[in-house]
Amino acid sequence: MRPRWEALLVGVLLAMPAATHAQAEAGPSARQIELIVGSGAGGGYDLYGRLLARHMGEYLPGHPAIVVQNMPGAGGLRAANYLYNVAPKDGTVLGTFAHDLVLLGLTRSGAGAQFNPRKFTWLGSPSSFADDAYLLIARPDSPVRNAEAARAPGGPSLLVGASAQGAGTNDIAIVLRDALGLNLKIIPGYPDSNAMFLAMDRGEIDARLTAISVLHSTRPEWLMPQSGMHVILQFAHAARHPDFPAVPTARELARDDRGRRLIELMELPYRLDRPFVAPPNIPRERAQVLRQAFRAVQSDARYRDEAARLELDLSPVDAEAIEQAIAQIDAVPPDTLDYIRKLLTNGNAQ
């Protein structure tokens, strides 16, 4: 049977008849692409995924429909493993998952990572996080309201909601606890961002890690002074974000050079903030078509207008920039990567 991508191109370029019923039965239509989102509906990755799905098909041969399929689980690990090992390698399935999984895959921090980030077919990211920051934000009634109190010896612990290993909500919290000496009690197991927001609303947890852009899109009221929310620190922004000039960065709070190096390493994946991929071993010409379409849609006026309405950051980077960032992470001294591996696997570096 002719691969689905070839059926699409032949149908468009040579005006051949549509696929037979038997071909349609074999899998998704040649005029349809599936986009796997490695988180639940309503979170940041889902917003970016659905935005791209509504517009990128216009830049692909035949203008295929792009259908979003949420595949939450293990902080995006389920989706990453599926895309790497199971999804068809013909360009009809794409995906997006937590950028933190790149570091997890490179360090092999846990048996759950069944992929090599170097081998994915990277398309790019609509955001480089250049104008964003990752915040540790706490409820108005939190026992800890600033960074100084968060690392006071013998002080109260901050209950921080988290997803799973490989997700920023979990791994960044572990590193902040280790490198900054914060009194954090990490509560893992939340399936997606919405679940953590609801846990905050109900008072199950005191705090969570999330991006400014996500708050603008999903909880803008939390950013209002009258909300009473406390921003403890900011991460993945070398200098203080202009919206939070009084809130220290994680780099500022590092206790020593080792801690600062760990913070800087953990911040590297944010350069590929919302990564989009295809499975490995996509034929070169098909990968090129996908990458060109991804680049083209980033300049599309309707796409950009909708992103602005959703208050999503658009500072795109291409596949080459992502591959360079992965190479930079891969070049970190082995002892540092080993320390991170132990830290993320065990919750400590022992």
The answer to whether 7 and 23 have CB atoms below 8 angstroms apart is yes
CATH of the domain at 212: 3.40.190.10
Residue 348 belongs to a domain: no
Give the pLDDT of residue 101.
87
Give the pLDDT of residue 57.
96
pLDDT tens column, 289-300: 999 999 999 999
pLDDT tens column, 110-142: 558 899 999 999 999 999 988 899 999 999 999
**pLDDT at residue 109 tops 70:** no
Q: Which amino acid is at 249?
A: T
My answer on whether 120 and 144 are in the same domain is: no
Give the pLDDT of residue 44.
85
The distance from CA 187 to its chain's CA centroid, rounded to whole angstroms, is 20
My answer on whether 237 and 296 are in the same domain is: no
My answer on whether 298 and 188 are in the same domain is: no
Q: Bigger pLDDT: 312 or 52? A: 52
My answer on whether 248 and 296 are in the same domain is: no
Give the pLDDT of residue 23.
33
Residue 332 belongs to a domain: yes
Residue 247 belongs to a domain: yes
**pLDDT at residue 170 tops 80:** yes
Give the pLDDT of residue 167.
74
pLDDT, average across residues 180-193: 92
**pLDDT at residue 27 tops 60:** no
CA–CA distance, 98 with 85 (Å, rounded to integer): 17
Residue 261, domain extent: 134-268
Neighbours of 165 (CB within 10 A): 22
Residue 281 belongs to a domain: yes
pTM of the model: 0.73
Q: Bigger pLDDT: 343 or 288? A: 288
Backbone angles phi, psi at 272, to 5 degrees: -110, 55
Helix residue ranges per DSSP H, the chain: 4-13, 21-25, 44-55, 77-85, 100-107, 147-150, 168-180, 193-202, 212-218, 250-253, 257-267, 284-297, 301-310, 319-330, 334-346
My answer on whether 188 and 210 are in the same domain is: yes
Which of 201, 236, 268 is a domain's end point? 268
**Which residues in 287-302 are b (16+ Cβ under 10 Å) and which e?**
bebbbebbeebbeeee
Residue 103 belongs to a domain: yes
CATH of the domain at 125: 3.40.190.150
My answer on whether 10 and 108 are in the same domain is: yes
The answer to whether 164 and 187 have CB atoms below 8 angstroms apart is no
Q: What is the DSSP letter of 249?
A: B
Give the pLDDT of residue 279.
98
Helix/strand/coil percent split, the chain, to 5: 45, 15, 40
My answer on whether 247 and 147 are in the same domain is: yes
My answer on whether 125 and 155 are in the same domain is: no
**pLDDT at residue 330 tops 90:** no
Band (pLDDT 50/70/90 cuts) for residue 268 is: confident
pLDDT tens column, 140-169: 999 999 999 999 999 999 999 998 766 778
pLDDT, average across residues 42-70: 95
Residue 349 belongs to a domain: no
CA–CA distance, 140 with 207 (Å, rounded to integer): 10
Which of 267, 232, 263, 227 has its CA nearest to residue 247? 232
Q: How many domains does one find in the chain?
A: 2
My answer on whether 89 and 123 are in the same domain is: yes
Cβ neighbors of 170 (< 8 A, separation 6 or more) are 75, 162, 163, 164, 186, 188
Which of 268, 288, 322 is a domain's end point? 268
Band (pLDDT 50/70/90 cuts) for residue 347 is: low
CA–CA distance, 137 with 222 (Å, rounded to integer): 9
Both tokens assigned to 19 = 């696929």
My answer on whether 177 and 248 are in the same domain is: yes
Which of 209, 236, 268 is a domain's end point? 268
Residue 74 belongs to a domain: yes
pLDDT tens column, 225-236: 999 999 999 999
Residue 350 belongs to a domain: no
Both tokens assigned to 123 = 């398309």
Cβ neighbors of 141 (< 8 A, separation 6 or more) are 203
My answer on whether 160 and 87 are in the same domain is: no
My answer on whether 114 and 199 are in the same domain is: no
Give the pLDDT of residue 350.
46
Virtual CA dihedral for 69, 74, 76, 78, nearest 10 degrees?
A: -60
pLDDT tens column, 66-104: 999 999 987 788 999 999 999 999 999 999 998 888 888
